[in-house]
Each structure stands twice: as C-alpha cells, then as structure tokens.
Structure 1
Amino acid sequence: MQVVGHFINGEMVADTQRVQDVYNPATGEVVRQVALASKTTVEEAISAAQAAFPGWRNTPPQKRARVMFRFKQLLEENSDKICAALTNEHGKVLDDAAGELIRGIEVVEYACGAPTLLKGEHSKNVGPAIDSWSEFQPLGVVAGITPFNFPAMVPMWMFPMAIACGNTFILKPSERDPSAPLLIGQLLKEAGLPDGVFNIVNGDKLAVDTILEDSRVQAVSFVGSTPIAEYIYATGTANGKRVQALGGAKNHAIIMPDADMDNAVNALMGAAYGSCGERCMAISVAVCVGDAAADELVAKLKPQVEALKVGNGTDISNEMGPLITAAAQERVRSLVAQGVEQGAELVVDGSALVVDGHENGFFVGGCLFDKVTKDMVVYQEEIFGPVLCVVRVDTMQEAMQLIDDHEFGNGTCIFTRDGEAARYFSDNIKVGMVGINVPLPVPVAYHSFGGWKRSLFGDLGAHGPDAIRFYTRRKTVTQRWPSSGVRDGKQFAFPS
C-alpha cells in the first residue's frame, strides 16, 4: 500500500516507522497510509528551513513574487488533480473542492503584491542631517498547523504570505487528508522555490510539540478546534513564539421578520449543509425573530433539507458528501440523539442515512432542529456536521444577546431588508466577521480573517494586512552622516 511521506528540502522523505490509515470517506476504505514524523524528521525539516533562510531572506521581494506568479499558474493548470485529491480523502463534492482551491489561489494572488506591501515609511531630516525610516524584516523559520476540512485553502492562508515576506516555512497538515498539500509542495518547487524554503511534515501531536518547542521556529499559525488552539497558543507563547491560533465557532444567522425568506432559505442551505457542515464558518444556528418568521423558515427549509442529494463527491450531481471519519459520523449522530432527548423538535432526521452502493461510507444526511434552546448541547457545541438548529426569540436585541453570550465569536449574519437594523447589528455585535444578507462572510484575500472571543487566540488574523504584520518585524533605522570634519560635543540630555 502507498505510504505518503514528507517533503523536506525539496525531496520526498519516507520515515515510515509509524503510519496511519487514510480513508476514502465515501467508501470507508483505506486508500493509502500516511507516515507520522518522528522528532528527528521534524527537526530535519526545521534545519532545512533554517539553512535556506539567509538566501531567501536576501532574495529581492520582486523575485520572490515571481515565484508566486508561477505558482499561481501551476495551481490553475493542476486544479483537477488537486480537487480530485481533496474529494478522495476529505469527501467534499468536486464543486466545493474547486471553490476551496480558488479561495486559496486568491491568497497567492495577494502574495504576488508583496513588494508593494513590504514597503516601509521614510522621513527625511527628522533632525539636522538625520533621516529615519522603517522596514519590514522576515522572522525566520515559521510554521503552520492546519485542519482536515480545508487541506488546500487553509495552508494557502499561511505559507504564500510567509514566504513572500522572506520567511521559510514548515507545514504540518492534517494527517487525515495529506495528499493535496504534498501536490502543492511539489508545484512550489516546480515554480522555482529554492529547496528548504517550504517543507511538509505529516504527523500527530509529536510533530506539533516538536514545532512548538524548537527555539528555531519563530512563529506558528494554527487553524482548528478551540481546545487545541488554546493549547497551541499557550505552549507556543511560553516558548517565546509569535502565535495566531484560530479556533472553533458556533455561527448564528438572525432571520428578521422582514427578511426575503426565499433568499434566506437558499443561503442557509449552502451555509449549513455545504461541505457536510465541516466548515468553521458554517451557519449552524438560525435565530428567528418572532414565531411567524420561524414557522415560515422551517416550512420552507424542511422540503429542501429532505431533498438534499447526498453521495460520493465525485458525482457532480451530488450536493453533499460524507463526513471525514467514522468517528465524526458517530459523534454527529450522538449529538442529534442528545438534541431529541433534551426536547428539541427534530423536523428532518438524516442521521441514519445510508447511501446505496456506499453502505460503508461515513454519511449523515441533513438534519433540521426547531425550538432549540440555549441550554441544549446541540446549541452549545460546535457539531461540525450537517445540522441546523432553529432558535426562536421575540426581539432582535434578544437574538443579539444570544450571540454575544456564546463563547465563540467567529462569524455571524443577519437577513433583513431594514438598513437601520443591519447597520446597528454590524456595529454592535461582538463577532469578528459579519454578513448582511451574506451567509458566509469569509473575507477576500486582501482583508484579514479572524474571529473574536474564544475563536481566535492572538492579536492578528489570517491573510490580508494582518499577514504582513504577523510574518514580519518592523525595524526603525535612524541615520546621520555628519559633514566632513564636523564633530558633535557630548550631550547627556535625551536627544530631541
């Protein structure tokens, strides 16, 4: 059986002493295995990145940008191959895989502008014959630890900007779907990136802890669950690293009485059930203001959820694929059962779905709950599955309080025709990313992605302007060249 290894210093490295099965979620079959890196292998990757840093740091930003331009072209030329790998190991439908890749390519496009983005500030004659300027210098070796749900996009939230800024990079992708990142690494090499600038180590907690504890790694980016994000942040910062750790979410959509209900329903179908709900920006709670709005929303959602076409992601007619693992499937089924036990009304139950011809696949059909309350487990936890919960409230203020009280503050949205209500909502809600009649308010590449509260640990979000700040240090230089023969007398007062 094929064993997926590591990509270090421009070469594939085996290190197959420990391996883990990689499944096709649609069939439940083991399709390959992935090597889990030893501490030594991770340290080899860090050494390769450290050795490559001086040369890459001193490569002109324009030349670094040209590598990104070629990389973008290669990604587009190989998109079918990358999307097939995503669907084979993650399970998402091919259209969704293509959308993921496009959003990743957008960050590569942004990284192509690094020469402009890295320009500092200059002031002439801040004092007699004294000039002062600031510049952005790379950190050194940096690392990214990324989740299973976006094996291509989330790594590309990180390494294109890090590399364009002059850093070298270690990627530790999810061991559940490792093939797409390795394809991307090989395309970077083909684009002309020097060996050692980008490295991939597949692994588990051992690899993560090695990265967090190695003093040569200057910064760590992470996307995943909140408990792990908190661990990454605490451990990384305790070891003197700069850390951005993006955690979990429980994203609410407020449905106002004046909302265009058909538009809201169509938006919620994609936002709640797209990618089988395995998105940190998925809408998993619809908060309806008034029973009339709730009744209409549920009535319109019910037939559409029941009609969801679920199956193998390689069939382009399917709207939803499987969950990533059997454990994820069992967890979602368990949470649905708990919702029923705690009194929520299960309007549509797809938890026991079996797909013909794929009886061993990790499928769960669309589930729709009504009359969910904030004390229920299905409301409190991030389900990460195709489950939408409808909560009923009397006022917009009550809806906003519900959102503000939740521990997560990643994304939210409101459906309304009232501009005043929308403006008040966006100004005052305690959430990092807000949509107005937009269900998945994921910022474009030249804006930054990041939530509030326990959805983000650290001060800076992903991509956009925050990426320049995260992957560089500002240095300010004050310079004077005195005229020949002119010498200053001693000065003991603070210079002014």
Structure 2
Amino acid sequence: MTRTLENYIGGSWVRSSGTTLLDVKNPATGEVLAQVPLSTAGDVDQAVQAAKAAFPAWRATPPAVRARYLFKLREIFDGRRDEIAAICTSEHGKTLSESRNDFGRGVENVEHAAGIPTLMMGQNLEDVSGGIDCQTVRQPMGVFAAITPFNFPPMVPLWFLPYAIATGNTFVLKPSEQVPLTQRRIFELIHEHLGLPPGVVNLVNGGKDVVNGICTHRDVVGVSFVGSSAVAQHVYKTCGETGKRVQALGGAKNFILVTPDAERERSVANLSESIYGCSGQRCLAGSVVVGIGEAYDWVRDSLLAAAKAVVLGDGSKPGVTMGPVVSAAAKDRILSYIEKGVQEGAKLILDGRGATVEGCPDGNWIGPCIFEDVRPEMVIAKEEIFGPVACLMRAQSLDEAIELANRSPYGNAASLYTSNGKHAREFSHRIEAGMVGVNIGVAAPMAFFPFGGQKASFFGDIKAHGPTAIDFYTERKIVITRWF
C-alpha cells in the first residue's frame, strides 16, 4: 500500500487536512514512491502557532546551547549520507554522486551555523559621548518559513533551517511537493535523535495554498524562497505587502564565456559538467556558451564530443553520468523549448529528444542537446529552459561577449574560461551576475559566503547563507547607556 506523507507540527507527525493527494514518482522508473498531500492554510496556521508557542523558550536558550544541537545534527547527518543520497536519487533522478554532493553542501551550512556564538555577536563602543556607551545586539525575531524547490532536495532547505534555529528563531518548512521524501527522512532523524523542543522546527507539505498561507500569515516574520522568477516575484510582493522580511531567489540564464587562450581540455570538461550535471536542473547550470574569436570552433567540437560521451540512465546505477529530468511535465516543457529553438532557426547539432534507456521505458528521458547559430533575440537564448540544453553563440571580443551576457534579464551566475588575468579581472568587474566563476563552471559559494543573484534572479535585500544569513534572521538593536 502506498504511504501518505504527514506534516510535522509541534514535535509530532500530523495528518494534513488537505484532501488532494499527488503521486511522488521515481523519475527513472515511473514507480510511485508515496503520496503527498496538498495541505491547507489551516495546516500552515497550525504549524505557525506551534512555532510561535515554542519561540519564547527557544529564544531564551543560550546560543552556545543552540549550537550544540547543530553539532549533534551534523553528527547525525554524517552517519546518514548514503541513505539520504539514495532517497534523493529515487525521487529526483540525479546520480548518487550528485545526491551525495547535494546533501554534503547542505551539511556545510549546519557546520557553519554551529558557530553562532561568534556569528551572532554584536558591537560596542565606550564613550560615544561623555559618559555614554553604545552597543548593538542581535536578537531573534520569531517564526520564519522557507519554501524550497525540487532541484536540490537535501541542500536548499539546509540553507535556511540551521541559521533560523541557531539565531533563536523557530521555523516552518514547505518542501517541494515533487520531492518531499528527502526532507521527510531528515525530519524523522531530527525527531528521533536530535531532541529539539517541540515546535522549534515544523514541516508542511503542499502547493500554492501553503505558499500563500505562509506569505500572508500575520505571525510569520520572514520568508525564504527558491524557485522560478515568476513565483519569486509573487512571494516578494506578497511578503512585502504584509511587512515580512523576504529573500526570493529566482530563475537564471547563465552565460559561460570562453577565450581563445583558455586551457582547452579541462575547460570543456568543466563547462560540460556545468551544463549537463543534474540534467541541467540547477540554478547555476551553464546555459549559453559564448565562444570568443577562434575559440568558438574548438569549443563547439569539444563540447559536442563531451555531450555524446554522457551516459544517460537511472542515477542509482553505476556508470551513469546523467539521470532523467524530474517529471513528465518538466520533460514536456523542455521539449517545447527545443521545438521552439528549431522553429526560430537555431541549428540542433545534437538532438536528445528521442533518448531511451533500456529497462526504463517510463523514465523522463532527454539526452544532451546542443543548439548552434543561436541569436540573442531567440526565446531559447532568453528564457530559462532548466534542462540539458546548451545554446552556442559567437563573439569577436570579450567586450562583445560581456555585452551579450549582460542583455539577459537574469543575473544569477556567469563564468569565464581564460588564462589571461586581465580578461578575468575585466569580466569579474563588468559582468552583471551575483555569482561569478573564473575557470569554474558552477559558481556555487561555500556555506560561509553569501548566495544569490542579481536582476530578475533575486528579489530582496539580504542574500542566503554565509554572514548574510545572520543579518536576515536577526534584528539589530542599538542600546545607548548613561549612568548618573
């Protein structure tokens, strides 16, 4: 019998009041793994009230004690890396290696947040005026929530949960309804082994009703979101109207520029992984490759060879280097973009539309695709495809290539492959992207640096993880003191 997932509220597993159930499927085999409920605004309120009730005591818990919970959580996770990776692969489709890295990057945020006694320190200065001292302190604010996407089931929720509770807030998570099983298991581990006070962390499964319930709830003080730019704008606007803090990380159209002096073999291998890793379902995935001058021909030929060498299959099997896309709906969307590119006149020099995998007839298979002769005005050059599709463009100079990249309404990440330090500095200075790679195909910051894009890729003022996480989850209070 297929199990139905529950919400986690106030330290207990609770049945959702929602009556609609969605199948959670293995995207490689089509097997139904579980059913997830579409919870209601009433379920959100129940979770928020549990978090609100837990806040006063949790806020009063010393930071060093809160840090010890995170040290313990890191220990729990360290013994479960293979288990969590296997669950991630089963519901998302990425390879086991990619799932391990996914979870590993999440655990790094737990490690970083465990330094909260230092990270949360304020400042002080004696004698700002005669006999008057001034200090700033950081204080937790209340109930925070996060709305997370399908593409990194273990990692992205861990961009938020550790920092929220380390700083003394309480927390409600809405994982993607497409991939709820990884977080279900993580919350089971928290429930069974961590010993957090009830209500400090909560989980509500669901779709848009839960999103709107979180964004409009009067007792939620801040919301983190990761997903498409259209929904990020909605979350940003709705939270703004209700006076919440918000960090809404949106879509991307990441450009990779290659100069003639780039180291050929390693550059192409690296940018190919950027494009086709996780089946292109990364917000930092390479999307448009711009060959500069004479670099174009060898980039095209080498990328074509690298893409043809990708091994498509069930991500749980050895030797597979690219799994399926997450759902039949995602496959249909990607295929529609490929068809649009053909109609617009781009040349499809590698066509992965007919890809199949032996023994997995029900998988959501799309092989690597490469378009040549892509022009800036084409839809495939402007809109996020979020699949294993590369678009090739030419530029005669670095200036022209940077101009092409900066035309994009998005500004999540951009990369340059070069051996020229002057070119690298010019690119880093002028490119309009929040995360920049030099000879790095996936410009993903470590947990102790901020994460977030620019332009239509980010809506908010305070970015995720790193030191900015402490800014997001705390209020600075200024205390000015004089004693008579």
* Superposition TM-score tier, normalisation by shorter sequence: over 0.9
Aligned to 1:485: none
Q: Distance in 1 between matches of 2:6 and 2:457?
A: 32
Aligned to 1:457: 459
The code of the aligned residue for 1:30 comes to: V
Q: Where do 1:274-293 residues align within 5 Å?
A: 274-290=277-293, 292-293=294-295
Aligned to 1:212: 215
1:256 to 259, 264, 279: 259
1:269 to 242, 267, 272: 272
**For each residue in 1:326-378, what CA deviation from the matched residue of structure 2 results, as whole angstroms up to 9, or x when unmatched?**
01111111211221221111111111111111011001000111111111111
Normalized against structure 1, the TM-score is what? 0.96
Q: Would you say the 8 A contact 1:283–1:388 is kept in 2?
A: yes
Q: Where do 1:401-440 residues align within 5 Å?
A: 401-440=403-442
2:350 matches 1:348: yes
- Report the secondary structure of 2:160's partner residue: helix
2:337 to 335, 338, 344: 335
5+ long unaligned stretches in structure 2: none
Aligned to 2:13: 12
Identity across matched positions, percent: 45
The code of the aligned residue for 1:465 comes to: P
Q: Where do 1:302-341 residues align within 5 Å?
A: 302-341=304-343
Q: Distance in 1 between matches of 2:219 and 2:241?
A: 14
- Report the secondary structure of 2:377's partner residue: coil
Bigger Rg, which one:
1
2:359 to 346, 357, 360: 357
Q: Distance in 2 between matches of 1:480 and 1:46?
A: 39
1:64 to 47, 63, 66: 66
- Report the secondary structure of 1:4's partner residue: coil
5+ long unaligned stretches in structure 1: 483-496
Aligned to 1:3: 4
The code of the aligned residue for 1:202 comes to: N
Q: Would you say the 8 A contact 1:251–1:412 is kept in 2?
A: yes
Q: Would you say the 8 A contact 1:95–1:316 is kept in 2?
A: no
Q: Where do 1:36-435 residues align within 5 Å?
A: 36-189=38-191, 190-290=193-293, 292-435=294-437
Q: Distance in 2 between matches of 1:421 and 1:352?
A: 40
Instruction: Report the CA distance between 1:207 and its aligned residue.
Output: 0.7
**For each residue in 1:281-331, what CA deviation from the matched residue of structure 2 results, as whole angstroms up to 9, or x when unmatched?**
0001101112x3111111112122112101101113100000011011111
Q: Would you say the 8 A contact 1:165–1:472 is kept in 2?
A: yes
2:468 matches 1:469: no
Q: Distance in 2 between matches of 1:73 and 1:205?
A: 34
Instruction: Report the CA distance between 1:43 and its aligned residue.
Output: 0.6
The code of the aligned residue for 1:249 comes to: A
The code of the aligned residue for 2:271 comes to: L
Instruction: Report the CA distance between 1:124 and its aligned residue.
Output: 1.9
Q: Distance in 2 between matches of 1:429 and 1:301?
A: 24
Instruction: Report the CA distance between 1:480 and its aligned residue.
Output: 2.2
Instruction: Report the CA distance between 1:411 and its aligned residue.
Output: 0.3
Q: Distance in 2 between matches of 1:194 and 1:309?
A: 46
The code of the aligned residue for 1:11 comes to: S
Backbone CA RMSD of aligned residues: 1.0
Instruction: Report the CA distance between 1:265 and its aligned residue.
Output: 0.9
Q: How many residues align?
A: 481
Runs of 4 or more above 4 Å deviation: none
Instruction: Report the CA distance between 1:108 and its aligned residue.
Output: 0.5
Aligned to 1:488: none
Deviates more, 1:369-378 or 1:381-390: 369-378
Q: Distance in 2 between matches of 1:29 and 1:269?
A: 30
Deviates more, 1:308-317 or 1:47-56: 308-317
Normalized against structure 2, the TM-score is what? 0.98
Q: Distance in 2 between matches of 1:196 and 1:182?
A: 16
Q: Distance in 1 between matches of 2:123 and 2:477?
A: 11
- Report the secondary structure of 1:84's partner residue: helix
- Report the secondary structure of 1:3's partner residue: coil
Instruction: Report the CA distance between 1:165 and its aligned residue.
Output: 0.5
